[in-house]
Amino acid sequence: MQNKKVSTDIQQLTTLAQDLKPFYQKEHTMYKNILLSLIACGILVTAEAQERTLELTLEQTIERARQQSPDAQTARHSFRSAYWSYKYYRANYLPALKLTSDPALNRAINKITMSDGSVKFVEQNLLSTDLTLSLTQNIPWTGGTLFVETSAQRLDLFSDNTTSWQTSPINIGYSQALFGYNSLKWNRRIEPLRYREAKKTYVETLELVAARATQKFFALATAQSNYEIASTNYANADTLYIYAQGRYNIGTITENEMLQLELNKLTEETNRMNAHIEVEDCMQELRSYLGIQEDVLIKVEVNDHVPSLHIDLNAALMTARENSPDILNMQRRKLESESNVANARANAGLKADLYLRFGLTQTGNKLKDAYHNPLDQQYVTLGINLPILDWGRGKGQVRVARSNRDLTYTQVEQDKTDFELNVRKLVQQFNLQSQRVHIAARTDETAQRRADVARRLYILGKSTVLDLNASISEKDAARRNYITALYNYWSLYYTLRSITLYDFELDAPLTETEKIEAVMDEMIRK
């Protein structure tokens, strides 16, 4: 691309020299010097173009950004966190098998109550070891916990050199908070919604990454276009100034006109230097965003073609409601507010805890004796907590939770309205943008032709320098407007994709399956 552009510039400069040739037929030496200068300039530009460059299209830039940009990496980390949180939630509803042991060595003088009721200080030297294997299962419908366990305990008295065993071959128990907050029930409603939201948010973020990459891509494209414009304008201004000097020497133009052309030359030289700085800054930003560590030149290739798409407003609204993570976020916020109200109610009223355990137990001097003819055991507790006087603290918490719930519902409704208005605005703007691109392209072409005509007319002495400057300004503005129109088109396109999660070119929804699987594979490899 760079070499093609260089050839075009050299051709334009050579054409300008040919336009000036009739005026320098008598001054052959001056014409020869001008032509040699143009050729030397072309050689220098060609040498500069041969430096190591990385040419990127918009599609390549977006693909690199989705893989290497900081925003994409942050999105992957956020999704991994959401994934493991979801795995933790799922594990709460699965059986858990646990092995516990709490060995203890006690060598001290302790106060012991004897069988006759007397109390004595007795020196104890004992080792207690135990082993418990338990299987627990949470019950989501009630919020209780069912467990089955087996245990054995050994007691070694070193002072008497005796050993005893206590076993519980099987224990079945159940614990339940009555009138309390059932977190398991609410999590079953909230956490799957949160995980679906996380998956869609990840896909949405990748589309927003594409939109940001588009912005940086066209920022560099604009800067490069400005530099090309400035370089061409400077070359033309320099050549016209040399030409003006010749005409001034023979008395065909005034000094004021020659000074105006000199001023144009100096202005374009300043513009070229400023444009070069702008190119370096934009190139560095794009290089950093794409994660490119090498100090290479980046040249962006702007595709003039844009798809002729017309998005139906009603279809876009329906798609956005179905696919957008914002809708899931609104649903989750409403459920969380209801959960907070339920929690406040449970904490403000009567609370009771029920604990049941039934099983078998036995003791013996040997392990096998401790499993012989086991005795049954039962253990039942009921704890009650009823606030009598709390100075309205419980009712206050409930009212605060209700107020927050009502506030959340109001905010959600407003967010839903704003969401739909945003979709409507984006669709309307996008449907007009394609036509704007075509108009900007025609304007750019026409302004370029007018600038060429104005330059030739000025060389022939049939127009003024003011008309020449006006045509150059119009040409430059038309080119910038065209690039801006292209940027607005693609920015609106990827923003619409992010809010609807829909590929309008392929007429298919953006599925998160492939993207999520890629992240999962990366986690497995790590």
**Each residue's pLDDT tens digit, 169-190:** 999 999 998 888 899 999 999 9
Alpha carbon distance 425, 182 (integer Å): 43
Which residues are 145's β-sheet partners?
138, 175
Separation of CA 226 from chain center? 31
Alpha carbon distance 505, 312 (integer Å): 13
Q: Are 136 and 96 in contact (CB under 8 A)?
A: yes
Q: What is the pLDDT of residue 508?
A: 86
Q: For residue 219, what are the CA distances in angstroms to 51, 270, 299, 355, 515? A: 22, 20, 12, 68, 28
Residue 292 has pLDDT above 60, yes or no: yes
Q: Say which amino acid occupies 445.
A: E
What is the model's pTM?
0.78
Alpha carbon distance 49, 55 (integer Å): 12
237 contacts: CB under 8 Å, gap ≥ 6? 261, 264, 265, 267, 268
CATH 1.20.1600.10 at 52-82+189-330+411-525, yes or no? yes
Report domain extents, the chain. 52-82+189-330+411-525, 96-139+144-181+350-386
Alpha carbon distance 398, 337 (integer Å): 12
SS3 312: coil
Alpha carbon distance 324, 336 (integer Å): 19
Q: What is the pLDDT of residue 436?
A: 93
Instruction: Please give the residue that has the higher pLDDT: either 247 or 309.
Output: 309
Q: What is the pLDDT of residue 267?
A: 86
Q: Are 229 and 472 in contact (CB under 8 A)?
A: no
SS3 451: helix
What are 375-429's pLDDT values in tens digits?
Answer: 888 888 988 888 887 788 888 999 999 999 999 999 999 999 999 999 999 999 9
Q: What is the pLDDT of residue 124?
A: 77
Span 126-142, average pLDDT:
92
Q: What is the pLDDT of residue 524?
A: 53
Q: What is the mean pLDDT of the chain?
A: 85
First vs last Cα of the chain: how many Å apart? 40
Q: Are 468 and 416 in contact (CB under 8 A)?
A: no
Phi, psi of 296 (to 5 degrees): -115, 155
Alpha carbon distance 446, 440 (integer Å): 10
- Residue 432's pLDDT band, with cuts at 50, 70 and 90, is very high
Find, among 317, 309, 495, 337, the residue nearest to 421 by Cα: 317
164 contacts: CB under 8 Å, gap ≥ 6? 154, 155, 157, 363, 364, 365
Alpha carbon distance 521, 287 (integer Å): 27
Q: What is the pLDDT of residue 222?
A: 93
